[in-house]
């Protein structure tokens, strides 16, 4: 019996992913001053016990004002390290790897939690708004606050934020770090011509719009140990006239790879501006972003992670078998079913599917075997 690729370990630098299932980063908006709470411990324990190969902790601010909401996690203070270390230990206890997504929200910072509307915070509102920064003074949407165009000191502060956050991620024991370059946040807004109108060295052509992204990647790589991987999450296409194309992202991937970035995590969307309508014309289909991971993998000869409506074990296995990606990231389906790895192991006929679970569970489930119950046909009256 051959092992499905989904359950075949992947070695990268000095770390081993025990399988290819990765928890995609998911903001929980429940941190207090950037610190991990009990909620986060419970949230991550579900996935670790479910048998994932790795997880990426939610978008975590490299500066206080670089958080999306007041409830976002941070690595901008040493006080954030102990809580993050507990999350790492939750995964390590199950033989899984732990990564953290570090980023700066740029012009999409200072917003309300999704269930409070996700709009920009009001200066006099119950939660105080703060000043946001971006490559150019263009709001994320019409009617939103206008960010301040970044000046030399801002570049230095953000670079330093990434450097210090990477140090703290290391102190917390993370196995890998992911740079957040997607979804309309700061690095994405530098890359996209829809949001970057600068006329200095950080704007203009592709090389100019990539410059700050590459500086950040170099900063992170200079701190992060050789034996640990660096991921980069990109919006690989803006799906909008004048925005980022897959070819642009392949060019970026080549440059990132040359600077020691190991994996491109290929997402899309998020650059909603008054300039172009970047909303998808139709609801996304299963695997709607897989072609981006495939394009980068082939075009830049880079390891990729596919994400976006990957819900079925056969679908995940087909992506890997086709050579479209090396890792499969899942967000919402894992929230619905943290035992997805077990269900995938059964669906893909893994010899001992219960082995994905911790032994105190696996032992009893193996002994019990499969049991199903069929309700009796309804009685006619």
Residue with tokens 């200079």: 222
Q: Which of 129, 170, 246, 331 touches ligand FMN (CB under 6 A)? A: 331
- Considering the complex, what minimum distance in angstroms separates the CB of residue 156 from ligand FMN? 25
Binding flag, residue 267, ligand FMN (CB under 6 A): yes
- Which one, 24 or 195, has the nearer CB to ligand FMN? 24
Candidate segments 20-28, 153-161, 221-229, 369-377, binder of ligand FMN by CB under 6 A: 20-28
Q: Count residues contacting ligand FMN (CB under 6 A)?
A: 20
95: Cβ contacts below 8 Å, ≥ 6 apart:
18
Binding flag, residue 88, ligand FMN (CB under 6 A): no
Binding flag, residue 318, ligand FMN (CB under 6 A): no
C-alpha 4 chain-centroid distance: 24
- Considering the complex, what minimum distance in angstroms separates the CB of residue 29 from ligand FMN? 8
Alpha carbon distance 269, 242 (integer Å): 14
Nearest to 224 by CA among 326, 99, 135: 99
Nearest to 348 by CA among 340, 357, 336: 340
Binding flag, residue 43, ligand FMN (CB under 6 A): no
Residue with tokens 């009685």: 379
Whether 361 is a known active-site residue: answer no
Binding flag, residue 58, ligand FMN (CB under 6 A): yes
- Considering the complex, what minimum distance in angstroms separates the CB of residue 280 from ligand FMN? 13
- Which one, 149 or 246, has the nearer CB to ligand FMN? 246
- Considering the complex, what minimum distance in angstroms separates the CB of residue 175 from ligand FMN? 18
Alpha carbon distance 41, 50 (integer Å): 14
Binding flag, residue 101, ligand FMN (CB under 6 A): yes
C-alpha 64 chain-centroid distance: 19
Helices 206-223 and 152-171: angle between axes, nearest 10 degrees: 40
Binding flag, residue 184, ligand FMN (CB under 6 A): no
DSSP-derived pairing of the beta strands 133-134 and 148-149: parallel
User: Is residue 168 within 8 Å of residue 81, measured between CB atoms?
Assistant: yes
Task: Kindly list the catalytic residues.
Answer: 185
Give the residues lining the site for ligand FMN (CB under 6 A): 24-27, 58-59, 101, 180, 182-183, 233, 267, 307-310, 330-333
């Amino acid at each position: 019996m051959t092992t499905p690729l989904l359950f075949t370990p992947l070695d990268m630098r000095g770390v081993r992913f025990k399988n290819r299932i990765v928890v995609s980063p998911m903001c929980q908006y429940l941190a207090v001053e950037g610190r991990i709470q009990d909620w986060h411990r419970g949230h991550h324990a579900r996935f670790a016990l479910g048998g994932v190969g790795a997880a990426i902790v939610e978008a975590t601010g490299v500066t206080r004002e670089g958080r999306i909401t007041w409830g976002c996690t941070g690595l901008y203070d040493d006080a954030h390290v102990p809580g993050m270390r507990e999350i790492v230990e939750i995964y390590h206890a199950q033989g899984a790897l732990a990564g953290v997504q570090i980023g700066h929200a740029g012009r999409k910072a200072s917003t309300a939690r999704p269930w409070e509307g996700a709009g920009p915070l009001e200066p006099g509102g119950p939660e105080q708004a703060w000043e946001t920064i971006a490559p150019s003074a263009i709001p994320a949407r019409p009617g939103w606050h206008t960010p301040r165009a970044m000046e030399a000191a801002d570049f230095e502060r953000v670079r330093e934020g990434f450097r210090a956050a990477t140090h703290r991620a290391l102190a917390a024991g993370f196995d890998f770090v992911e740079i957040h370059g997607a979804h309309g946040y700061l690095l994405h807004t530098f890359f996209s011509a829809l949001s970057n109108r600068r006329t200095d060295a950080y704007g203009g052509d592709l090389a100019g719009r990539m410059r700050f992204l590459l500086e950040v990647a170099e900063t992170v790589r200079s701190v992060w140990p050789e034996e640990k991987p660096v991921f980069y999450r990109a919006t690989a296409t803006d799906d909008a006239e004048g925005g980022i194309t897959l070819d642009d992202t392949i060019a970026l991937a080549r440059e990132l790879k040359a600077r020691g970035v190991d994996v491109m995590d290929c997402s899309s969307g998020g650059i909603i501006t008054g300039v172009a309508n970047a909303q998808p014309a139709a609801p996304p289909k299963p695997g709607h972003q897989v072609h981006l991971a495939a394009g980068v993998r082939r075009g830049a000869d880079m390891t990729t992670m596919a994400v976006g409506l990957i819900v079925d074990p056969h679908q995940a296995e087909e992506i890997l078998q086709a050579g479209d990606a090396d890792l499969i990231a899942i967000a919402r389906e894992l929230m619905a079913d943290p035992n997805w790895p077990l269900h995938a192991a059964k669906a893909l006929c893994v010899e001992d599917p219960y082995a994905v679970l911790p032994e105190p569970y696996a032992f009893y489930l193996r002994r019990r075997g499969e049991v199903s119950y069929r309700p009796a046909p309804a009685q006619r009256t």
